[in-house]
Structure 1
Amino acid sequence: MPANESVAWNDLQSHAYYMSQSHISTLFREETDRFSLYTFEQNKFLLDLSKQRITEETLALLIKLAEEKGLQQWIQKLFDGDHVNDSEDRPALHTALRTPADRILSINDKNIIDEVHSNLSRMEEIVERIHSGQWRGFTGHSIDTVVNIGVGGSDLGPFMACKALAENQADTAKSLKIHFVSSMDGSQLAELLSELNPARTLFVISSKSFTTIDTLANAQTAKEWLKKSSYAASEETLISRHFIGVSANPDKVCEWGIPKSNQLEFWDWTGGRYSMWSTIGLPIALKLGMSGFREFLNGAHEMDEHFRNAAFSENLPVLLAMAGIWNINFLNINAHAILPYDGRLSHIPAYLEQLEMESNGKSVDRQGNNVDYKTCPILWGEVGTNAQHAFYQLLHQGTEAVMCDFIVAARRYHDTNNPELQHQHQLNLANCLAQSRILALGDSVLEGAESAPAFKRYKGNQPCTTIMLDELNPFSFGQLIALYEHKVFVQSVIWDINPFDQWGVELGKKVATSLLDALGTERKQPDFDSSTNGLINRITERGE
């Protein structure tokens, strides 16, 4: 049954008619202790929904909707390895990647938990070789630079995590520099190669299929750079000492030239945007050391267990997801700002853009029918203190209704004796709390604001969620990312869509390939639409 034909959906529509007339500031006056009513915690991880336009009735109806849509059964299917990715006929087992070694999960008569930990052990060997200086380049010098070449999930997740957890870098990795390359036009790589020592540089080629044109083009450029830099070394030697392949397609990795000894594997049941828990997370492990990487996995597993077992009324991913459903489908809010108040989390908006919009940016349900309700909103964001000087004008006084997630760590610099840094963190916290307060409550927080001219008024009523970590470390960061992964899954269940495929990105790749002949040296006569033909001709004219 379509989501919008359920009893709870209809009840929520009736409820929304009244709630849409209300203001969050009024809700705070009516319920003076909203914080205790609408704040939920799990192992020092706090979710504050008190600045959402909700009441206890709203939450009860949303939970009823989740129950009517069979959410508990879908959660069980996800963890049991059922083929929840039905369009590709396979499971989605990213949760298995962070499951402890003593568990058993059989898929096709194999305990995949054993396979996961076998790959982690293989990754640990590589990390230790690099950290100890035993991995040596073609001149015999130890590696001091790693370049991760990937795109999408093979880039965004590891890049974000390495940035977020830089302060947790392992002592054995202090001298190791880690870079990320993803752009197809070669600009990132060209600029980077001009600064690197080929004898000390190791390339990690990360691609699930190992057929991604963007990634392989950059990998080929890196190979040619090494060959030009080391005329005395054979190509086989260069590849064996300077390339690692991470893929679910080992045959293609071998075909490219990377030997089995330099390969790390993962599986087709690991979606790209869910893959940094796997060997795709090699750069994270190189940054943190394997103990830090395992803490990252442990944090995610902690959230997995909470998601799997907690009652919906206390379940952080479920509550975060259902608050989003309320905003999108009943209050008609289709814009979502991600606002981390921590420079270390500067890449989390981009990561969540992919995680949510590639997963739930769908208009066809699991039965192949076009949906007649909204699904994933448009996400964007920036570090909060930067965003305050950019798009907060729209949030405060624009015409768009926007839901906002504020992400912050309560503690930082608490183990230093530097009062200036401690003051800066307090300043950051003050800005985070002030902005969420004004966005939700408007200028009702100021005495006499009603007498100000219209252009100075702050209307408020923008629903805000605050996610507060005790402090940012590998464990809490794992909790945070798993929270959002499960939020995406819950919303997909409500909308009855498959969040684990991404057919919307495939056609562009195919059409781009078909255009290469028209742009190549042979310059075959184009036969496309008039705009594309005209642009190709103009490019050709200017290239002559």
Structure 2
Amino acid sequence: MTDAAACWNRLEELPMKTLKALFAADANRVDRFTDSLALPGGNVLFDWSKTHLSSDLITAFEALAQAAGFAGAREVMLTGGIANPTEGRAAEHTAQRGMGADESVALADAFHMRMRGLVEAIHEGLLGPVKHLIHIGIGGSALGPALAVDALARPTAEFRAPVDVHVVSNIDGNALEAAFEVCDPATTMIAVASKTFTTIETMTNAASAIQWLEEAGVSDAYGRVVALTASPDKAVEWGVDETRVLPFSESVGGRYSLWSSIGFPVAMALGWDGFAQFLEGAAAVDRHFADTEGFANLPLRAAFADLMYVQLRGCQTRAGFAYDERLALFPDYLQQLEMESNGKSVTADGKPLGRNSAPITWGGVGTDAQHAVFQLLHQGTIEVPVDFIAVKQPGHDLDPAHHAILLTNCFAQGAALMAGAESVDGARAYPGNRPSATILCDALTPATLGALIAFHEHRTFANAVLLGINPFDQFGVELGKKIANEIAAGEGEGFDPSTEALLAAAGLKR
């Protein structure tokens, strides 16, 4: 039996108290389970007190972290070692914000300066009038930019984005046409984001965007394209001018690529200073993650709770609710980050995992979700750990009552999930003892958002290390792509009768 297996056995033997009992037994529980990170422009508070973590469980999880080699795996990732063994690669997203192998950090800085030069040239009008940017990508090449632009580039009394950014990912032509409807081709640039510059959805959308520009009379349509890629030669071959190719390193994974040249649309919307603050917020979390041990390490603490609910309490999902409209896309971003990273059934060395891996990540926006899915959270038979994310400072100038009601509802939901309520009428009874964690930001700034994303990146990594899996490959997405390509090429045969019938019904029969 391995040391890790013995640690899991110990964890599974430990009793769990109710949330009310944990608070009753420890008058300082809130202080012990709540910490803040200081960031430019305001702090971020992390409150994990309403989880079932106890002193005994924490000690056992710290032992598991030691047995699983957490400190060594963290060092490998943060110094540019082979963190992705199945593909023989480093995972160097932290190098994009200053922590990694010296040569990788220097290369990231050089790529950032190249991007900065192009962004500032566009903002200064050196490439002609540019009012719109259509950013075309999919997966990590789109989810991150969409989140950051939607969260940070909304117009206010003090800020208006220098360029209007639209992110398009879906191959469904309706998505691209919606962007065309609100953009003037005479003042629009196209960003094509693809690590390999071969992704079929992205390249098909890019070709249609070129056609749209040409049909509108733009004389040099390819001159309006900026390529964001780890394969610059392919971008040039496709037709992009070399001066408008923004490379990034092959060792930066797609769902971790927002910090690289994939962040071009964020810099276009915020200006370079805003993008630099975004990087610095993430770097602050990197430093905390690198320098803090055990339960005091906030991403590792969150991973302890995550594993407790999946492995010890049998929870199959985890929900996240952003009580701020500006963070409406945050649950979507987390879905890919966590489920593509840790949705595995084998260990890093290819052996059967033998236990559950990542839960299903889902969520929504408060207070909308309270009138939709919270019924199940409060009274359903399935226990769902919940994360709440809120911001103290509103992003609007309306009556402060709006924000007070929003925050009151956020905190009330966590209180109600824990406390429950008895009733002689069973339909009105709430079992309570349902867990939640709360992240409260002073303000939603570029640094804050960078910190939130980096926190969840490291949380995802910590979960993976304690499970013994590789969070940096994603072979599970390949088989469906392979079959789709075979169908498109008229190749392959012997599909199941249902698939053959569907192809025929849709007029795609080969």
- What TM-score do the two structures reach when normalised by structure 2? 0.95
Aligned with residue 313 of structure 2, among 308, 328, 331: 331
> Structure 1 167/2 Cα, relative in aligned 2: closer, same or farther at 3 Å?
farther
Equivalent-residue separation in structure 2 for 1:222 and 1:62 (angstroms): 51
> Structure 1 401/3 Cα, relative in aligned 2: closer, same or farther at 3 Å?
farther
Residue pairs, 1:506-521, within 5 angstroms = 506-518=478-490
Q: Does 1:429 align with 2:407?
A: yes
Q: Per-residue deviation at 1:85?
A: 0.4
> Structure 1 451/225 Cα, relative in aligned 2: closer, same or farther at 3 Å?
closer
Equivalent-residue separation in structure 2 for 1:166 and 1:490 (angstroms): 31
Residue 388 of structure 1 aligns to a residue in which SS? helix
Residue 277 of structure 2 aligns to a residue in which SS? helix
Aligned with residue 31 of structure 2, among 11, 33, 36: 36
Q: Per-residue deviation at 1:172?
A: 8.8
Equivalent-residue separation in structure 1 for 2:3 and 2:175 (angstroms): 44
Kept after mapping to 2: 8 A contact 1:360/1:499 = yes
Residue range with higher mean Cα deviation, 257-266 or 460-469: 460-469
Q: Does 1:115 align with 2:104?
A: no
Kept after mapping to 2: 8 A contact 1:131/1:173 = no
Kept after mapping to 2: 8 A contact 1:163/1:344 = yes
| Structure 1 residue runs without a partner (length 5+) | 137-141, 444-449, 519-523
Q: Per-residue deviation at 1:156?
A: 0.1
* Greater Rg over alpha carbons, structure: 1
Residue 306 of structure 1 aligns to a residue in which SS? helix
Residue 333 of structure 1 aligns to a residue in which SS? coil
> Structure 1 541/175 Cα, relative in aligned 2: closer, same or farther at 3 Å?
closer
Q: Report the residue type matching 2:470 in the other structure.
A: N
> Structure 1 194/408 Cα, relative in aligned 2: closer, same or farther at 3 Å?
closer
Equivalent-residue separation in structure 1 for 2:123 and 2:258 (angstroms): 20
Equivalent-residue separation in structure 1 for 2:353 and 2:122 (angstroms): 50
Q: Per-residue deviation at 1:498?
A: 0.5
Kept after mapping to 2: 8 A contact 1:147/1:201 = yes
Deviations 1:146-195 (A, max 9, x none): 00000000000010011111258898963521101111121111232234
- What TM-score do the two structures reach when normalised by structure 1? 0.89
Q: Report the residue type matching 1:88 in the other structure.
A: E
Aligned equivalent of 2:151 = 164
Equivalent-residue separation in structure 2 for 1:378 and 1:452 (angstroms): 34
Residue 146 of structure 1 aligns to a residue in which SS? strand
Equivalent-residue separation in structure 2 for 1:169 and 1:150 (angstroms): 27
Aligned equivalent of 1:68 = 67
Equivalent-residue separation in structure 2 for 1:398 and 1:246 (angstroms): 45
Equivalent-residue separation in structure 1 for 2:482 and 2:3 (angstroms): 34
Q: Per-residue deviation at 1:411?
A: 2.8
> Equivalent pairs: percent with the same residue?
38
Residue pairs, 1:346-357, within 5 angstroms = 346-357=328-339
Kept after mapping to 2: 8 A contact 1:172/1:289 = no
Q: Per-residue deviation at 1:313?
A: 2.5
Equivalent-residue separation in structure 1 for 2:280 and 2:325 (angstroms): 24
Aligned equivalent of 1:316 = 298
Kept after mapping to 2: 8 A contact 1:296/1:474 = yes
Equivalent-residue separation in structure 1 for 2:392 and 2:424 (angstroms): 34
Equivalent-residue separation in structure 1 for 2:49 and 2:208 (angstroms): 52
Aligned equivalent of 1:462 = 434
Q: Does 1:105 align with 2:101?
A: yes
> Structure 1 170/278 Cα, relative in aligned 2: closer, same or farther at 3 Å?
farther
Equivalent-residue separation in structure 1 for 2:261 and 2:79 (angstroms): 22
Q: Per-residue deviation at 1:452?
A: 3.5
Aligned equivalent of 2:504 = 537
Give the CA RMSD over aligned residues: 2.1
Equivalent-residue separation in structure 2 for 1:421 and 1:492 (angstroms): 44
Deviations 1:235-261 (A, max 9, x none): xx2211x10001000111011100111
Aligned with residue 200 of structure 1, among 187, 205, 213: 187
Q: Report the residue type matching 1:244 in the other structure.
A: V
Residue 489 of structure 1 aligns to a residue in which SS? helix
